Amino acid sequence: MEAMEALNIATLTVLSTTMMATGGALWYLDINSMAEARKMLRGGLGVDGSGKTEQEAEEEFEEWMATTLARKDFKEARNPKIDQSNL
């Protein structure tokens, strides 16, 4: 029973700390509603005010991700890791 009570208290502590941190971040960023949160997120993606649609922003992100992964694959192919099992 004591172990269950300790687990319960630890869980509540973690959840309450997370809620306080989330509230502090929202206060610091001056976000009071979901609409403001969406506006801030979309503004970071360049959708609001720059003339881009959400579809264009998503395609740009996909293109960036593809080029980043291609560079990573190229670097891994150029520098093969030493197989430790043969040593």
What residue numbers bound the domain in which 71 lies? 33-79
40: how many CB neighbours lie within 10 A of its CB?
13
23 in the same domain as 59: no
**Which of 25-34, 49-58, 73-82 bottoms out in mean pLDDT, i.e. has the lowest?**
49-58
pLDDT tens sequence across 35-61: 888 777 777 666 655 566 777 777 888
54 in the same domain as 20: no
- C-alpha dist (Å) from residue 5 to 11, 15, 66: 10, 15, 48
37 in the same domain as 73: yes
For residue 85, tell me if it sits in a domain: no
**Which of 6-10, 22-26, 40-44, 82-86 bottoms out in mean pLDDT, i.e. has the lowest?**
82-86
13 in the same domain as 44: no
41 in the same domain as 20: no
1 in the same domain as 37: no
Give SS3 for 1.
coil
When divided into structural domains, the chain yields a total of 2
Could you tell me the pTM of the whole model? 0.46
Tell me what the mean pLDDT of segment 20-45 comes to.
Answer: 84
What stretches of the chain show up as alpha helix (H) in DSSP?
A: 2-28, 34-45, 54-78
Per-residue confidence (pLDDT) for residue 23, from 0 to 100? 93
Alpha carbon distance 38, 33 (integer Å): 9
55 in the same domain as 17: no
